[in-house]
Amino acid sequence: MKKIDSHQHFWKYNLAKDAWITDDMKVIQRDFLPEDLEPLLKENQIDGCIAVQADQSEEETLFLLELAKDNDFIKGVVGWIDLRSSELKSRLDYFSKFKKLKGFRHIVQAEPEDHFLLRADFCNGIAQLEKYNFTYDILILPKHLPIAFEFVKKFPNQKFVIDHLAKPNFKQNNFADWKKGITAISKCENVYCKVSGLVTEAHWNNWTESDFTYCLDVVTKVFGIERLLFGSDWPVSLLAASYKESYAIVEHYFSNFSTEEQEKIWGGNAIKFYNL
C-alpha cells in the first residue's frame, strides 16, 4: 500500500511573514523543514507527502520546489501564483517546467470578500489551469460552501480538492449548514475532499476521536471512497495533536473498511488526483 500525506507545510519562521501564527500558537513559532517531517513519515509508514503553500508569494512556491528537488519523499507541491495577474500565462508557462509542481492554492478563508471565488479576475485565472493539468486546492470555511459550489460548477473539467473538510465547527458541534453545503458540492464529480485539519478546528486541549465521527460519516457518504484523501496538516496540527494522534483518528475511523478502500484513502486517490 502506497501511503501519501496529501497536505502538510514547511516554513522558515519569520515574525512578519508568518503573522498568522499568533502567540497562542507558540508551539509552531519555529522552522519546520523536511528533516523534521521525514522521521514522522517513516514512523507511520508513509511513503511521501504533498507540500502545500502557507505564504502567498511565488517565493514560497520556489522555496517548496527547492525542498522537493532535494528530498525525494516530497512527491508534489501545491504552490501559490497570482491567479488575478495579467501576466498569468507567462508565469504558468514558467512553472509548468517544474515536474513536482502539481497545483495551486489561495487562502480564500482569509479574504474579506465572501464571494472572492466568484471574482471575474480570479475565475479567469482558474480557467487557465486545466490546460497545464494543474489542480486547485480550495481553502474555505463552511460559510463559503454555497459560493464554492457556484464556483466549481463553472469549471467542470478542472480538478479541485477541498482542504480540511471545509473546516466544520467542531467546537460548537453545529453542522447543519456545513452538511448542506458539503453535500451540494460533493455532487460535482471533479471535486475531491481532504480528510485533514480536524484537530485544529476542535478544542485544542480537549478533543476526542468521537468529535469527528459525524463529519467523517458525512464526507464518506457524499464523496464516496474514490474522492477522499488523507492529509496530516502538519505542523499546524501540532497545536492540538502529535503527528501520530492525527494519523490515528483517520486510521481508526477507516479501520473496518476493505483493504482496497483503505489503499485509496491513504494514497491511491492522492496519486490519482495530483498525478504523482
Q: 206-226, pLDDT tens digit by residue?
A: 999 999 999 999 999 999 999
C-alpha cell belonging to residue 272 = 490519482
Residues 101, 104, 107, 112, Cα dihedral to 10°: 150
- Give the mean model confidence (pLDDT) for residues 4-21: 95
**What number of residues does the chain have?**
276
Report pLDDT for 68: 98
- Give the mean model confidence (pLDDT) for residues 128-153: 98
Q: Domain segments of the chain: what residues?
A: 4-273
- β partners of residue 104: 79, 136
The CATH class for the domain spanning 4-273 reads alpha beta
Report pLDDT for 211: 97
- Distance separating alpha carbons of residues 164 and 49, to the nearest angstrom: 16
Residue 16 in this model has a pLDDT that exceeds 90:
no
pLDDT bucket at 166, cuts 50 / 70 / 90: very high
Residue 76 has phi, psi (to 5 degrees) of: -160, 165
pLDDT bucket at 173, cuts 50 / 70 / 90: confident
* Contacts of 102 by beta carbon, 8 Å cutoff, 6+ apart: 50, 76, 77, 78, 134, 135, 274, 275, 276
Report pLDDT for 267: 98
pLDDT bucket at 199, cuts 50 / 70 / 90: very high
- Distance separating alpha carbons of residues 266 and 263, to the nearest angstrom: 5
C-alpha cell belonging to residue 46 = 508513509
- Distance separating alpha carbons of residues 77 and 52, to the nearest angstrom: 6
- Distance separating alpha carbons of residues 193 and 138, to the nearest angstrom: 9
Q: 77-88, pLDDT tens digit by residue?
A: 999 999 999 999
pLDDT bucket at 1, cuts 50 / 70 / 90: confident
Report pLDDT for 253: 98
- Distance separating alpha carbons of residues 65 and 54, to the nearest angstrom: 13
- Give the mean model confidence (pLDDT) for residues 99-108: 98
- Distance separating alpha carbons of residues 140 and 107, to the nearest angstrom: 8
The model's pTM is 0.97
Report pLDDT for 124: 98
Q: 177-194, pLDDT tens digit by residue?
A: 999 999 999 999 999 999
**How much is the mean pLDDT over the chain?**
97
C-alpha cell belonging to residue 124 = 479567469
